Chain A
Amino acid sequence: DAGVIQSPRHEVTEMGQEVTLRCKPISGHDYLFWYRQTMMRGLELLIYFNNNVPIDDSGMPEDRFSAKMPNASFSTLKIQPSEPRDSAVYFCASSLGPSSGEQFFGPGTRLTVL
């Protein structure tokens, strides 16, 4: 298996622009997670899905952030409009769920908002 795939790997944009991050989870994994990592705050859970349904979005910082999972093999995290404080590395992870517990992370998308 190719593992969790994220695109793009790097994104540089200007404040106010819309940003869309993409994730393809490992086939057969029922859970998908979006995280944000910064030096100050560490690795923060933004939202997670079970069988394509959002379960907990309490970590989404504000209404500018939205996430969708239209099918089992694809998810997006959108920021509109983007702000400089959104600059971070965004990770997508997938897992089989409580039976396994292990989360498999993608390589991340490094977002820079100027």
Chain B
Amino acid sequence: TQLLEQSPQFLSIQEGENLTVYCNSSSVFSSLQWYRQEPGEGPVLLVTVVTGGEVKKLKRLTFQFGDARKDSSLHITAAQPGDTGLYLCAGANQAGTALIFGKGTTLSVSS
């Protein structure tokens, strides 16, 4: 069974701080996605990483896929209150047709 472990589970920081969220597995994934979910809404895709060692940047967010394609990290620089939400990583099954989600990291950024 493929599992994705996310850490930390909860993170509460001040505006302007930097943070890193981790997503780890013992399984290899063909690709990995990061989603962000706000209260009362469904998750929304932020990024997809496919190649081992790949780094993608989305404004103040930096995503990295591990060389062995078993882990990933999300780094946020100078966090803002608008970054508050639940961050979920998801690995694609071998066929690429379904996703396995981690339990998520709840981020709270206060001003």
Contacts and interface: CB of A to CB of B under 8 A. Distances in A.
Interface of A: 4, 31, 33, 35, 41-45, 48, 50, 55-56, 91, 93, 97-98, 101-103, 105-108
A107 B43 CA distance: 9
Nearest to B97: A98
B interface, size bucket: 20 to 34
A107 B44 CA distance: 11
B88 interface: yes
B42 A4 contact: yes
Contacts of A4: 42
Nearest to B33: A101
Contact of A105 (B40, B44, B96, B98): B44
Contacts of B103: 41-43
Contacts of B95: 98
Contact of A45 (B31, B42, B100, B104): B100
